[in-house]
């Protein structure tokens, strides 16, 4: 496959919380389309990697970052417009968060903060994002209800709709399925399969099989170190480059 | 013996449980006793003097007859003016401390200062008020000096209660807003404040009722012993309920015995009214809670 400029590139990225190392010299890239899954046991730095990408890590006290993160070849940490950066990176947290406002306002929040006030434009965005997040049919008749009163699975899809509402180039999902039911998980997985052809998706997951089902490429992080990154079939095959990868994907880690 | 029969150990647990419940309930009831007796005593002793006239006329004959209207009006002046000064500053400072300030030595010192200021006795604020506002800034003994003193005294409590209301809004809401590209201020303006405003107001209102009852801070800074007229501006002195109660109880001869009690009933009544508002607000807040 011919590669153009990668959508995201982590180059020699190291992150420390005080004296504790979270990431050590991680280098890898995301293509402009397709799904990159990051697998690894908890505490391996997966979430840190996402927070570095949209710079929410800066709200953590005592954090030190070395190396660089490029979005479309631009250094993320030299950008002036942090809000603009975050609009280009959609972020879905592990626990669903419906904001304490109506379903409609949840999805219209980001566009409004950007200055879009036109009702027809907002209506269009809300319908499109809720449809993409496979939630539209369930909520189209009660858009004025509180987003926080939806079920967990619905709230997670609402969160995804919100993350799509600012039209991001990269969609990051951080263990999106840990708090929701298997049926919703499957619906979201189907949605991701459908979106992979036009969006760069960074999928952090605890579920090795989820990465195997969805990802074009998979990265294995262990204690802040990038053990291996490559095509999913290679990582999950009989013969990955690193023995630890084989052990982890085959559940022999101890 | 069937499996579901209670064991001896189980029976003992049940017995200890009922003793504990009874004990805790008893102590709680003991708490209500003094409050109920205070209010009861005030009403019984003050009843002979309480009348429409008492509330709406001036004191006459060296405060041994007439009403307490100037004191009621004066208390409202003092509390209102101090609130206008203390609330905006306190709320804004709390927003900064809770939403913006990083956890460093500077913010820690400020937080420590606030906690300590809340514990300073009110007579100390009174002395400070005399030095700073009455003398140094030349406001004289006036509503302005007294309100400023009250404002400084209530400030730390307003900051503390506002911070508490703000931190009741879950962190995940803020993170969700930042993630979609909202700035800190947009997040505060559209998510944090709308969901904490009732709590903030509750805190401020409770503070009002405390300020209404304070005597020391206003005694030397703006409250008058007796004034035959109502204040026209913040540069006038005024009478105040708490001060008036002190005066007619200890300083003036031949006051009818019901008068101090009736004054106290009015003061307590005002405070209770304000507190009730705050409780109603809190009930409304709980009902409108969006998560």
Query: What confidence tens digit (pLDDT) does each residue in B279-290 have?
Result: 888 888 777 777
Portion 174-203 of B in contact with A at CB < 8 A: 175-183, 186, 190-191, 195
Asked if B180 lies within 8 A of A61 by C-beta distance, the reply is no
Mean pLDDT along residues B78-85: 92
CA pair distance B291, A100, nearest whole angstrom = 6
A33 at the B interface (CB within 8 A)?
no
Model confidence at A11: pLDDT above 90: yes
Instruction: Quote the pLDDT of residue A107.
Output: 95
Range with top average pLDDT, A34-38, B115-119, B199-203, B286-290: A34-38
Q: pLDDT per residue over A166-181, tens digit each? A: 999 999 999 998 888 8
The burial class, CB within 10 Å (0-12 / 13-18 / 19+), for A167 is: middle
CA pair distance B198, B288, nearest whole angstrom = 10
CA pair distance B204, B165, nearest whole angstrom = 11
Model confidence at B92: pLDDT above 60: yes
Q: Indicate the range of A56-65, A117-126, A189-198, B83-92 predicted with least confidence.
A: A56-65
Model confidence at A60: pLDDT above 50: yes
Instruction: Quote the pLDDT of residue B9.
Output: 85
Residue with tokens 């730390």: B156
Model confidence at A1: pLDDT above 60: no
> What ipTM is given for this predicted complex?
0.88
Of A219, A191, A163, nearest to A30 (Cα)? Answer: A219
CATH classification code of A8-93+169-249: 3.40.50.300
User: Which residue ranges form the domains of chain B, and what is each CATH number?
Assistant: 69-244+263-288 (1.10.3720.10)
Decide if B223 contacts B74 (C-beta within 8 A): yes
Asked if B191 lies within 8 A of A91 by C-beta distance, the reply is no
**C-alpha triplet B214, B244, B217: angle, nearest 5°:** 30
Q: Which residue among B103, B173, B195 places its CB closest to the CB of A61?
A: B103
Q: What residue in A sits closest to B288 (Cα-Cα)?
A: A100
The mean pLDDT value of chain A amounts to: 91
Q: Which residue among B172, B173, B179 places its CB closest to the CB of A91?
A: B179
Instruction: Quote the pLDDT of residue A2.
Output: 47
CB-defined contacts A:B, below 8 A: 69
Quickly state the pLDDT bin for A70 (edges 50, 70, 90).
very high
Mean pLDDT along residues B146-163: 93
Model confidence at B154: pLDDT above 60: yes
Instruction: Quote the pLDDT of residue B53.
Output: 86
Mean pLDDT along residues B222-237: 84
Model confidence at B144: pLDDT above 90: yes
Query: What's the DSSP call for residue A146?
Result: B
Residue A142 CA to chain centroid, in angstroms? 28
CA pair distance A19, A8, nearest whole angstrom = 27
CA pair distance B132, B230, nearest whole angstrom = 25
pTM to 2 decimal places: 0.84
> Number of C-alpha atoms within 13 angstroms, CB side, residue B63?
26
Query: Residue A238: which residues within 8 A CB-CB, separation 6 or more?
Result: A246
Query: Residue A83: which residues within 8 A CB-CB, separation 6 or more?
Result: A113, B181, B182, B183
A73 at the B interface (CB within 8 A)?
no
The alpha carbon of residue B208 is apart from the nearest alpha carbon of chain A, in Å, by 30
**C-alpha triplet A236, A240, A241: angle, nearest 5°:** 155
Model confidence at B2: pLDDT above 80: no
Q: What is the DSSP string of B10-65?
A: HHHHHHHHHHHHHHHHHHHHHHHHHHHHHHHHHHHHHTTT-SHHHHHS-EETTTTE
Q: pLDDT per residue over A193-207, tens digit each? A: 999 999 999 999 988
A86 at the B interface (CB within 8 A)?
yes
Decide if A3 contacts A216 (C-beta within 8 A): no
Return the structure tokens found at A121: 């434009």
With beta carbons under 8 A apart, name residues in chain B contacting A90: 179-180
A56 at the B interface (CB within 8 A)?
yes
Between B277 and B189, name the one with better pLDDT: B189
Q: What is the DSSP string of A80-138?
A: S-HHHHHHHEEEE-SS----SSBHHHHHHHHHHHHT---HHHHHHHHHHHHHHTT-HHH
Helical H segments across chain B, by residue range: 8-46, 52-56, 69-95, 105-118, 122-129, 143-167, 171-179, 184-187, 197-213, 216-219, 241-250, 258-288
Query: Count of residues for chain A?
Result: 254
């Amino acid at each position: 496959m011919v590669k153009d400029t990668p959508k995201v590139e982590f180059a020699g990225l190291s992150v420390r919380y005080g004296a504790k190392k979270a990431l050590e010299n991680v280098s890898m890239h995301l293509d402009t389309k397709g799904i990159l899954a990051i697998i690894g046991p908890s505490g391996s730095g997966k979430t840190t990697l996402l927070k570095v990408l949209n710079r929410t890590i800066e709200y953590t006290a005592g954090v030190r970052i070395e190396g660089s993160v490029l979005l479309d070849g631009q250094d993320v940490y030299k950008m002036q417009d942090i809000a603009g950066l975050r609009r280009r990176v959609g972020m879905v947290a592990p626990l669903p968060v419906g904001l304490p406002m109506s379903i409609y306002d949840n999805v219209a929040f980001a566009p409004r903060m950007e200055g879009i006030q036109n009702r027809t434009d907002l209506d269009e965005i809300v319908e499109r994002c809720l449809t993409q997040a496979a939630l539209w049919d369930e909520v189209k008749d009660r858009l004025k209800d509180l987003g926080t009163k939806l079920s967990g699975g619905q709230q997670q899809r609402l969160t995804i709709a919100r993350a799509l509402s600012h039209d991001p180039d990269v969609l990051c999902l951080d263990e999106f399925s840990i708090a929701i039911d298997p049926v919703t998980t499957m619906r979201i997985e189907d949605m991701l399969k459908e979106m992979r052809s036009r969006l760069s998706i960074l999928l952090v997951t605890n579920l090795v099989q989820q990465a195997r089902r969805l990802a074009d490429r998979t990265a294995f992080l262990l204690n802040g170190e990038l053990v291996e990154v490559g095509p999913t079939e290679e990582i999950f095959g009989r013969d990955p480059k690193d023995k630890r990868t084989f052990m982890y994907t085959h559940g022999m880690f101890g | 013996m069937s499996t579901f029969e209670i064991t001896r150990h189980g029976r003992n647990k049940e017995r200890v449980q009922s003793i504990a419940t009874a004990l805790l309930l008893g102590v709680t009831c003991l708490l209500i006793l003094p409050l109920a007796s205070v209010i009861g005593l005030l009403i019984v002793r003050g009843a002979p003097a309480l009348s429409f006239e008492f509330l709406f006329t001036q004191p006459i004959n060296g405060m041994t007859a007439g009403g307490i209207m100037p004191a009621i009006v004066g208390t409202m002046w003092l509390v209102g003016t101090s609130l206008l000064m203390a609330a905006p500053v306190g709320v804004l400072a709390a927003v900064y401390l809770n939403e913006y300030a990083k956890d460093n030595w500077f913010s820690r010192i400020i937080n420590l200062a606030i906690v300590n200021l809340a514990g300073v006795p009110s007579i100390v604020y009174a002395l400070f008020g005399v030095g700073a506002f009455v003398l140094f800034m030349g406001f004289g003994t006036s509503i302005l000096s007294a309100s400023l003193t009250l404002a400084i005294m209530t400030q730390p409590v307003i900051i503390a209660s506002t911070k508490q209301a703000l931190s009741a809004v879950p962190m995940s809401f803020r993170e969700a807003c930042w993630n979609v590209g909202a700035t800190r201020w947009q997040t505060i303006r559209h998510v944090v404040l709308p969901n904490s405003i009732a709590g903030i107001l509750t805190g401020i209102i409770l503070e009002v009722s405390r300020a209404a009852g304070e005597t020391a801070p206003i005694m030397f800074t703006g409250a008058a012993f007796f004034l035959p007229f109502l204040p026209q501006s913040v540069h006038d002195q005024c009478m105040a309920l708490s001060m008036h109660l002190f005066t007619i109880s200890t300083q003036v001869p031949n006051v009818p015995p019901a008068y101090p009690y009736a004054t106290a009933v009015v003061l307590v009544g005002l405070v209770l009214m304000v507190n009730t508002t705050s409780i109603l607000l809190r009930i409304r807040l709980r009902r409108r809670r969006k998560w």
